Structure 1
Amino acid sequence: MSQVTVHDATLRDGQHAVQHQLDVPQLRAYAMAASAAGVPVVEVGHGNGLGASSRQIGYARLDDTTMLETVRLGLTTGTSRMGVFMVPGWGTGTDIHRAADCGADVVRIAAHCTEANVTRRHLGLVRELGLEAQAVLLMSHMTSAKRLAEECRRATEYGAQAVGIMDSAGHYLPVDVSERIGAIVGAVDVPVIFHGHNNLSMAVANSLAAVEAGASVIDACARGFGAGAGNTSLEVLVAVLHRSGHETGIDLPALLRAADVAHDRLMSGPPVIDSVTLASGLAGVFSGFKPRVLTAARAAGVDPLDVFAELGRRQVVAGQEDLIDEVVRSLKAAS
């Protein structure tokens, strides 16, 4: 029986589903419920992390400090640590200092899958502040298992105490995950992380494959709350892990109550796999682009599925939302 640390991203990645508009009562209610269930890490923030609230990718309803202070007070049982996420360029060292002041315990520094070098400075700062430093690679389907293993190994040299990959586009099948996680586990001597999305309805299966390949930190969101087709469903993941003989330390009945809180308080309905989110997963494009793709495609009279296919061909990543309009214009001109 292995021990798996479940990292709950409901109050961070889930923000994508509501355009980063969660308010104080919503954050507090879910934090208290997750804490009561014994969830090990509760991550909070703008969907794109510390410092990301902006015109280009969306303004959050609350500033980072308010979000962090609210969740810190909501983790009332003492069993849950508070996590934050930051992409260098959106966030800065100042944001990390502020998160530390607000009581963050775990800081994840994220980078594109071939660019772990950009995490060096901030991982060092996190360690200097005495917090747990983690590094994750985004859009990890865009490179090989060998390259991911090398980038993760490099991140450990920079101070990462856990490393791993995000299936940001929901593009993987279990065999893909097994290959990549296995390569990373063989290259590092720290816990390995997997973060799945559900565009191909594979998120729980991919997460289980990750655990069986040696990952020991798995991300999930209550009811799969997240952009497009959503994230790995937290309560389903924990149930499957327990049935498979893996220990999480989470009280499943209490977690089901937390999932009900998320359903009732955070979202209008659980994420669904529709034609657009399926197309984005197949194309390997971050499904957080969905609202903007739909708006631009409908205005121009082009098929959003064609837009996602072209974005995938161009290997567009989060932060390049301005290319959506360019792609729509090119498809309109060619029609």
Structure 2
Amino acid sequence: MSKITINDVTLRDGMHAISHQYSQEQIAELTKVLDESGVDIIEATHGDGLGGSSLQYGFSKESEETIIRTAVENSKHAKVGVLLIPGIGIIDDLKRAHDLGASVVRVATHCTEADVSMQHIQAGVKLGMDTVGFLMMSHRTTPENLVEEAKKMESYGAKTIYVVDSAGALTMDDARARVSMFKEKLSPETEIGFHAHNNLSLGIANSIVAIEEGATRIDASLAGMGAGAGNAALEQLIAVMNRLELDHNVDLYKVMDAADYLMKPMMKRPVQIDRLSLMLGYSGVYSSFLLFAERAGQEYGVDARDILMRIAEMGAIGGQEDWIIGVAQQLAAEAK
């Protein structure tokens, strides 16, 4: 079995869990410890990627330039990556990230909208970046449809394609079906990745299933830092991979210590499976909606779980956080 590449998302998806408020000092400290631990790629942008610091998605404490530059300056071995969601970030943002030293770009779209990624993937390839297709909310379509979208990204030049469980809604059978379909239908030269969320407590299990089916890039974060109930926790993932004798570059003790002594004290809200994060996985709602729904529920005096269920019924996808306020207002009016 191939050596597994670990893509750490503490400094990107982990931004969601603290409303994008990492300081420059925290970014530097986290980058250093992740780099020393042996992770292969450190992703560092606003939680919603390049261009994400905005009124709609929440302003980050530090500028995009500061986030990327600080990560690059403090990483001696790991590559620094960025996320780009077309419509939030643009190609000029990607060019600036590249100029700052980012060498990996993951171009992310909703699972049925890969066609909007063509120009951005091609731009990443032209810049000489490790260019990755990232199919979010992969539970929202069938494995057969998902692989057709993956083929589009492959045709645009992406050398790695990810099954992305943005809502933490995939069961192990769901994850297996999607990754195995990628393995069967995509080019043998195309690498397969998997990004888990832990809303149904399956982040580690699904990541291991993905590896069993041929995925060689796996996402994780210190202490599971991330949207919703968080991502697959890096220290837990590495412990399980060690038990299974899977090949990787990460030092277990170093990530254990970093999770307990560095990451957890930074958390403003525990990254855990509670009633709201569980509801994300149950309803299949995008994990970054959690804090928005929680705040709207408090403001309008409605149960945030009802907001999430209504949002799910409406078919909301990533980037439609602005629906939450309207839904909360509607539920409050219906309760009168």
TM-score (norm. length: structure 1): 0.96
Are 1:29 and 1:261, in contact at CA under 8 Å, matched by a contact in 2? no
| Displacement of 1:74 | 0.8
Are 1:33 and 1:257, in contact at CA under 8 Å, matched by a contact in 2? no
| Displacement of 1:154 | 1.2
Taking a change above 3 Å as real, the CA distance of residues 156 and 232 of structure 1, as seen in their structure-2 partners, is same
- For 2:87, the equivalent position in structure 1 comes to 89
- For 2:220, the equivalent position in structure 1 comes to 220
- For 2:96, the equivalent position in structure 1 comes to 98
CA distance in 2, matches of 1:265, 1:301: 31
CA distance in 1, matches of 2:34, 2:271: 20
211-220 vs 300-309, which moves further: 300-309
CA distance in 1, matches of 2:90, 2:62: 18
Amino acid at match of 2:114: A
| Displacement of 1:185 | 1.3
10-19 vs 299-308, which moves further: 299-308
| Displacement of 1:265 | 5.4
Are 2:197 and 2:228, in contact at CA under 8 Å, matched by a contact in 1? no
- For 2:157, the equivalent position in structure 1 comes to 159
CA distance in 1, matches of 2:66, 2:104: 18
| Displacement of 1:331 | 1.9
CA distance in 2, matches of 1:266, 1:196: 22
SS at match of 1:55: coil
CA distance in 2, matches of 1:25, 1:265: 14
Aligned residues: 333
| Displacement of 1:261 | 4.8
Deviations 1:306-327 (A, max 9, x none): 1111111111112111211221
- The answer as to 2:178 corresponding to 1:180 is yes
| Displacement of 1:2 | 3.3
CA distance in 2, matches of 1:270, 1:34: 21
CA distance in 2, matches of 1:274, 1:130: 42
Are 1:82 and 1:104, in contact at CA under 8 Å, matched by a contact in 2? yes
Amino acid at match of 1:158: Y
CA distance in 1, matches of 2:272, 2:264: 16
Are 1:145 and 1:183, in contact at CA under 8 Å, matched by a contact in 2? yes
- For 2:28, the equivalent position in structure 1 comes to 28
SS at match of 1:287: coil
Task: Please identify runs of 4+ aligned residues in structure 1 that moved more than 4 A.
Answer: none
Amino acid at match of 1:87: I
Amino acid at match of 2:305: L
CA distance in 2, matches of 1:52, 1:183: 32
Are 1:171 and 1:284, in contact at CA under 8 Å, matched by a contact in 2? yes
| Displacement of 1:263 | 2.1
SS at match of 1:49: coil
Amino acid at match of 1:253: Y
Point out where structure 2 has 5 or more consecutive residues left out of the alignment: none
Are 1:2 and 1:245, in contact at CA under 8 Å, matched by a contact in 2? no
Point out where structure 1 has 5 or more consecutive residues left out of the alignment: none
| Displacement of 1:259 | 2.2
- For 1:283, the equivalent position in structure 2 comes to 283
Taking a change above 3 Å as real, the CA distance of residues 24 and 265 of structure 1, as seen in their structure-2 partners, is farther
Please tell me the root mean square deviation across aligned C-alpha atoms, in Å: 1.3
- The answer as to 2:195 corresponding to 1:195 is yes
Amino acid at match of 2:74: G
- For 1:266, the equivalent position in structure 2 comes to 266
CA distance in 1, matches of 2:194, 2:9: 12
| Displacement of 1:334 | 2.4
| Displacement of 1:268 | 3.6
TM-score (norm. length: structure 2): 0.96
CA distance in 1, matches of 2:102, 2:295: 36
CA distance in 1, matches of 2:261, 2:19: 19
CA distance in 2, matches of 1:265, 1:304: 26
- The answer as to 2:137 corresponding to 1:139 is yes
Deviations 1:96-151 (A, max 9, x none): 11111111111100001001111110111111111110010111111010011111
